Amino acid sequence: MFVSLAVVTVFMSALLLVSAGAKSLRTRHITEQMSTLGVPRRMMAFLIGAQIAGAAGAIAGLWWGPIGIAAATGLTLYFAGAVAFHLRVGDHKGASPAVVLTMASVALIVLRTATL
């Protein structure tokens, strides 16, 4: 069970760090997407920080379970918010990856809880 937790944690953390990097570079794709979703530019730093904190917390949670559960809970809320923002503007195609990442975050909660 712990091996599954470690694999999902490493995958999610890598994905979060890549996403945070893309947001910090303010690529055209990212800025257009955020504009379409109605995310204010001033929120970008918060979103980047949340992704980095989520990745760090998930990794730290491999050693200390409660921080991993807290990080995974935060990630679940983060991605559920992303789903809501996509659906609010009718972007069903863009909501799909956020739904998958929400489910992966819930899986982190379940796996970390099961391995305490």
The string of pLDDT tens digits covering residues 40-89 is 989 999 999 999 999 999 999 999 999 999 999 999 999 999 999 999 99
10 falls in which pLDDT band (50, 70, 90)? very high
Of the candidates 52, 109, 45, the one whose C-alpha atom is nearest the C-alpha of residue 76 is 109
Per-residue model confidence (pLDDT) at position 27 = 87
- Per-residue pLDDT for 99 more than 90? yes
Mean pLDDT of 9-31: 94
76 burial level (CB within 10 Å; 0-12, 13-18, 19+): buried
Per-residue model confidence (pLDDT) at position 59 = 98
Q: Residue 54, Cβ neighbours under 10 Å: how many?
A: 27
5 falls in which pLDDT band (50, 70, 90)? very high
Q: Tell me the one-letter amino acid at 41.
A: R
Mean pLDDT of 8-25: 96
Query: Residue 64 — left, alpha, or beta (φ > 0 → left; ψ -120 to 50 → alpha)?
Result: beta
Mean pLDDT of 90-100: 95
Q: What is the mean pLDDT of the chain?
A: 96
For residue 64, the SS3 value is coil
